[in-house]
């Protein structure tokens, strides 16, 4: 089971595409149940699942079709609803990063009855959520029975100046990877250090799949303007392709397949 946001869903889709060619068509079934999507391979008594949980803990964004909300409200001390789904999986692949970069979040503690929310920045909110997640791992994971992975942050290519100083634009019309770059300009180092600190306490219970630097080089791997848009684009936007280029997600086949090749090596 893959657990996380749309980037994690992309990795799940990659895994489905990689595996389905060896599963007879009449013995594979796709099912969607609210925030859980699953490919079932009957012949292997196996399923490859994706659970939508962008903050890992419970939040008002847990509806995969209705998460575009003006406020992000989460319960930093509760992942019970999500954990009830993922506790049954033999292999778990977690990822959470992108949604924490969308500004501040509001916290609604389980002990609060009057609905009062505390507002904090995304990094502090992520640390609280990661801490709750780590507590669950510590209490519920036996590494001899369950394999758990955490995928590190997936960099974006929203600012061309990060790989070509002085240049405007983003990933639009990029056709080649970045070459000979060692500077981690598009890495969120404070977040990476926080995640590393929390993961270090889990020891052998969690394996880290570090995709950050290799992914940072792939400015050419995004869908850019070649993706599905859920609203009609204005003539102004259409005249400026870089204004609506998706420089966050990844094409399939593409970068996410490499992440899964790394996962295969762990397995």
40 forms beta bridges with 29, 47
Cα–Cα distance for residue pair 199/151, rounded to 1 Å = 11
The full 3-state SS of the chain, as one line of letters, equals CEEECHHHHHHHHHHHHHHHCCCCHHHEEEEEECCEEEEEEHHHCEEEEEEECCCCCCECCCCCCCCCCCCCEECCCCCHHHHHHHCCCCEEEECCCHHHHCCCEEECCCCCCCCCCEEECHHHHHHHHHHHHHHHHHHHCCCCCCEEEEECCCCCCCCHHHCCCCCCCCCCCCCCCCCCCCCCCCCCHHHHHHHHHHHHCCHHHCEEECCHHHHHCCCCCCCECCCCCCCCCCHHHHCCHHHHCECCCCCCCCHHHHHHHHHHHHC
Concerning whether 246 is annotated as a catalytic residue, the answer is: yes
- Local structure of residue 131 (DSSP, 8 states): H
| Helix (H/G/I), strand (E/B), else coil: 4 | strand
Q: Which of 6, 78, 242, 243 is catalytic?
A: 6
Q: Which of 5, 77, 188, 246 is catalytic?
A: 246
Concerning whether 154 is annotated as a catalytic residue, the answer is: no
Q: Which of 82, 224, 249, 256 is catalytic?
A: 249
> Which residues are part of the catalytic machinery?
6, 246, 249
């Amino acid at each position: 089971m893959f657990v996380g946001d749309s980037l994690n869903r992309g990795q799940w889709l990659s895994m489905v595409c990689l595996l389905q060619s060896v599963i007879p068509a009449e013995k594979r079934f796709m099912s969607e149940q609210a925030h859980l999507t699953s490919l079932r391979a009957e012949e292997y008594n196996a399923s490859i699942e994706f659970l939508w949980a962008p903050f890992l803990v419970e939040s008002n964004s847990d509806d995969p079709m209705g998460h575009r909300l003006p406020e992000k409200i989460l319960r930093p001390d509760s992942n019970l609803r999500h954990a009830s789904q993922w506790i049954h999986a033999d292999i778990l692949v977690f990822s959470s990063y992108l949604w924490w970069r969308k500004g501040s979040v509001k916290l609604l503690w389980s002990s609060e009855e009057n609905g009062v929310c505390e507002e904090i920045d995304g990094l502090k909110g992520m640390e609280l959520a990661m801490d709750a997640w780590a507590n669950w791992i510590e209490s519920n994971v036996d590494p001899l029975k369950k394999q758990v992975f955490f995928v590190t942050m997936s960099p974006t290519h929203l600012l061309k100046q990060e790989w070509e100083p002085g240049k405007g634009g983003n990933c639009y019309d990029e056709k080649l990877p970045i070459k000979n770059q060692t500077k981690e300009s598009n890495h969120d180092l404070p977040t990476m250090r926080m995640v590393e600190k929390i993961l270090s306490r889990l020891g052998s219970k969690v394996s880290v799949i570090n995709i950050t630097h290799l992914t940072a080089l792939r400015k050419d791997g995004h869908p850019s303007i070649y993706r599905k848009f859920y609203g009609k684009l204005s003539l102004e936007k259409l005249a400026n392709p870089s204004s609506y280029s998706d420089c966050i997600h990844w094409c399939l086949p593409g970068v996410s397949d490499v992440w899964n090749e790394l996962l295969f090596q762990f397995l």
